């Protein structure tokens, strides 16, 4: 069955942030796409043309799709990184939702360490970051074990939640060295994910950005 591949464009800021997992899915699957990076000073003019006034936005044959996780899930489905069964795909989704809940909890700490606002870093680290990390990474460690300690969070191949968690650990370690030292199985997943040859190729050559 011959199908023509759609044309893809991903619009996001010139940083990793909420666009990185989707970029990784394109590189992992060798799918050509326009990696459209909108500089901060051009964003106000571009904003109104986006469905929700936010980025990332994925364009599939010119049709827009907003929201980073909806985009990642769509691409993962297209390219085979969303689990091998509907139930596996649902577990990837459940972990992604848990990640979102965790991110909402740790956001006040990240906001300050990223330099977006003032705050007591030490206090936020103890009261906000550490409890959030312990709760979420405890769940991930158990999940990794229940999944057979095979270097993946769901099933026996790479899924987009492996990418999301691995990317986030990289961010966390910039501000909290040894952030996941108590979670060896999660660290195994990060190592296995980031040494995937196609992904490593992208990670080695991608633009270096603060976020």
Which residues contact another protein (rule: CB under 8 A)?
A: 51-52, 60, 63, 65-71, 73-74, 77-78, 86-87, 89-91, 93-94, 96-98, 100, 104, 139, 143
3-state secondary structure of 57: strand
The smaller minimum CB distance to another protein, of residues 58 and 203, is found at 58
The smaller minimum CB distance to another protein, of residues 69 and 202, is found at 69
The smaller minimum CB distance to another protein, of residues 31 and 67, is found at 67
The smaller minimum CB distance to another protein, of residues 73 and 152, is found at 73
The smaller minimum CB distance to another protein, of residues 60 and 176, is found at 60
In whole angstroms, how close is the CB of 102 to another protein at the nearest point? 10
In whole angstroms, how close is the CB of 205 to another protein at the nearest point? 28
In whole angstroms, how close is the CB of 60 to another protein at the nearest point? 6
Asked whether 38 and 57 are in contact (CB, 8 A), the reply is no
In whole angstroms, how close is the CB of 66 to another protein at the nearest point? 5
- Give the torsion sign (CA, 75, 67, 44, 12): negative
In whole angstroms, how close is the CB of 143 to another protein at the nearest point? 8
């Amino acid at each position: 069955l011959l199908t023509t591949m759609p044309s893809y464009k991903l619009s996001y800021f010139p940083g990793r942030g909420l666009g990185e997992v989707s970029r990784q899915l394109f590189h992992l699957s060798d799918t050509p796409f326009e990696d459209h990076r909108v500089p901060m000073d051009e964003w106000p003019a571009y904003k109104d043309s986006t469905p929700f006034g936010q980025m990332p936005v994925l364009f599939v044959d010119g049709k827009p799709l907003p929201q980073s996780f909806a985009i990642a899930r769509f691409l993962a489905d297209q390219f085979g990184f969303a689990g091998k069964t509907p139930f596996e795909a649902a577990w990837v989704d459940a972990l992604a939702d848990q990640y979102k809940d965790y991110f909402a909890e740790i956001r006040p700490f990240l906001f300050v360490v990223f330099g977006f606002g003032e705050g007591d870093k030490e206090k936020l680290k103890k009261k906000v970051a550490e409890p959030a990390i312990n709760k979420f990474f405890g769940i991930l460690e158990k999940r990794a074990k229940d999944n057979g300690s095979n270097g993946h969070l769901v099933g026996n191949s790479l899924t987009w939640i492996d990418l999301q968690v691995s990317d986030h650990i990289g961010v966390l370690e910039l501000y909290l060295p040894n952030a996941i030292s108590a979670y060896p199985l999660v660290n195994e997943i990060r190592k296995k994910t980031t040494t995937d040859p196609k992904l490593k190729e992208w990670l080695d050559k991608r633009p270096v950005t603060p976020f």
